[in-house]
Amino acid sequence: MNYQWYPGHMTKAVRMMQENIKLIDLIIELVDARIPLSSRNPDIDKLAAGKSRIVLLNKSDLADPVYNRQWIRFFESQNAHVLEVNSKTGSGVKSIQGLVQEACKEKIERDRRRGIVNRPVRAMVVGIPNVGKSTFINAFAGKACTKTGNKPGVTKGKQWIRMGKGLELLDTPGILWPKFEDQQVGMRLAFIGSMNDEVIIMDELACDLIHCLQQLYPQTLPQRYDICGTEEPPFVLAEIAKSRGCYGRGQELDLEKAASLLMEDYRSGRLGRITLERPVSPGL
Ligand code: G4P
């Protein structure tokens, strides 16, 4: 299948993001812990030049804990400040304030030398669509925060959320674009449900996922569906259809239905905590 995708609203989002980035000191970049590289923006280093950076492995509850740890080490080896979080439950989110101080140490020190005290760090959350930006902002900002903005000197429409002392967060996240032209990236984004399913042929996607799982987690499909799971992917999909009673009207196997069921099981975590990208680094 050809994994092609470029959502129409992206050009406007990119322009807004480039405008907002000028206003901030710190970028809080969300990636999906199941595919930390494919869910990243290819130009982030250029976009974030001169800014402090935090990388958050979001949806870490759906990813393999062994690889969460490896990915943390990977990003740390690239001098990033990293944390694993689950924005849905808020787990890990509390530790971010401490990390902000660390990530912005130089800026805070520079301000202090210039006699500027108590100037808050201004931060923006960025990430590709569906990575969990809004969920994260809600979890991080919670109800206790006060909104600034619509005051003289604050650009109309831009809202800064005051996060205790020393940090202000832009309430609208920056939407980044993934590496569209890379088919492997497109495929992985489709696996996690971050590509419009309407442009996807579900049973082909399911077969690609089966192939990946056979390589990376060979026990997963046999255990979940009580099947052998070692044949070519289309046969495995048929096994899943049989095992789950996916039949059409004439009692023929309904592979579309089995494919949707498999994808939903994967995306919701019912297949277990599965990381589809592994870090490759000499330090690991
Ligand atoms: P976005 O702003 O980056 O586009 O993403 P958004 O917050 O809308 O989140 C996209 C989906 O990811 C939502 O699911 C959200 O609940 C889920 N999500 C965000 N963070 C986490 C996380 O850490 N763990 C898990 N398991 N899920 C997370 P949805 O199906 O679109 O909505 P809902 O049914 O959960 O309400």
pLDDT at residue 151, as a whole number: 47
Residue 144, judged by CB atoms within 10 A of its CB (0-12, 13-18, 19+), counts as: exposed
Determine whether 24 is exposed, middle or buried from the number of CB atoms within 10 Å of its CB (0-12, 13-18, 19+). buried
On the question of pLDDT at 152 being above 80, the answer is no
- Residue 208 burial (CB count, 10 A): 18
**Residue 62 confidence (pLDDT):** 98
Ligand 1 and 127: CB distance under 6 A: yes
**Distance (Å, whole) CA 114 – CA 94:** 30
The first and second tokens of residue 81, run together, are 């400040």
Lowest mean pLDDT among 152-161, 200-209, 236-245, 248-257: 152-161
Supply the pLDDT for residue 155: 47
Q: Residue 78 and residue 61: Cα distance in Å, rounded?
A: 24
Once rounded to an integer, what is the mean pLDDT over residues 203-231? 97
Ligand 1 atom with the smallest distance to the CA of 62 is: 26
Name the residue with higher pLDDT: 104 or 117.
104
For the Cβ of 34 lying below 6 angstroms from any atom of ligand 1, the answer is no
Asked whether 129 lines ligand 1 (CB < 6 A), one says yes
What is the bridge-based pairing of β-strands 52-58 and 146-147? unpaired
What distance in angstroms lies between residue 131's CA and the mean position of ligand 1's atoms?
A: 7
Instruction: Tell me, using a 6 A CB cutoff, whether residue 59 lines ligand 1.
Output: yes
Predicted confidence at residue 153, as pLDDT, reads 47
Q: Is 232 helix (H, G, I), strand (E, B) or coil?
A: coil
Which of 56, 61, 86, 130 has most ligand 1 atoms within 8 Å of its beta carbon, as the pocket-test mutant? Answer: 130
Q: Is 160 helix (H, G, I), strand (E, B) or coil?
A: strand
Q: What is the dihedral sign for C-alpha 223, 226, 232, 235?
A: negative
Ligand 1 atom having least distance to the Cα of 86: 23
Domains along the sequence of the chain with CATH: 8-171 (3.40.50.300), 201-268 (1.10.1580.10)
- pLDDT at residue number 214: 98
C-alpha 248 – ligand 1 centre gap (Å)? 32
Is 32 strand, coil or helix? Answer: strand
Distance between CA 221 and CA 114 in Å, rounded?
Answer: 60
Q: Cα(243)–Cα(241) distance, rounded to whole angstroms? A: 6
Task: Kindly state the average pLDDT of the residues 148-157.
Answer: 49
Amino acid of residue 241: A
Q: What is the pLDDT at residue 12?
A: 79
Name the burial class of residue 279, with classes exposed (0-12), middle (13-18) and buried (19+) by CB atoms within 10 angstroms of its CB: middle
Task: Give 63 Cα–ligand 1 centroid separation in angstroms.
Answer: 14
SS3 231: coil
Average pLDDT, the chain: 89
- The pTM (predicted TM-score) of the whole model is 0.91
**Per-residue pLDDT, 149:** 47
SS3 of 93-154: HHHHHHHHHHHCHHHHHHHHHCCCCCCCEEEEEEECCCCCHHHHHHHHHCCCCEECCCCCCC
**Which protein residue's CA is at the shortest distance from atom 31 of ligand 1?**
130
Note the pLDDT tens digit of each residue in 174-207: 988 888 789 999 999 999 999 877 788 999 999 9
Query: Is the confidence at residue 126, as pLDDT, over 80?
Result: yes
pLDDT number for residue 4: 65
Instruction: Tell me: pLDDT of 150 over 60.
Output: no
* Among protein residues, the one whose CA lies closest to atom 29 of ligand 1: 130
Residue 244, pLDDT above cutoff 50: yes
- Ligand 1 centroid to Cα of residue 110, in Å, is 37
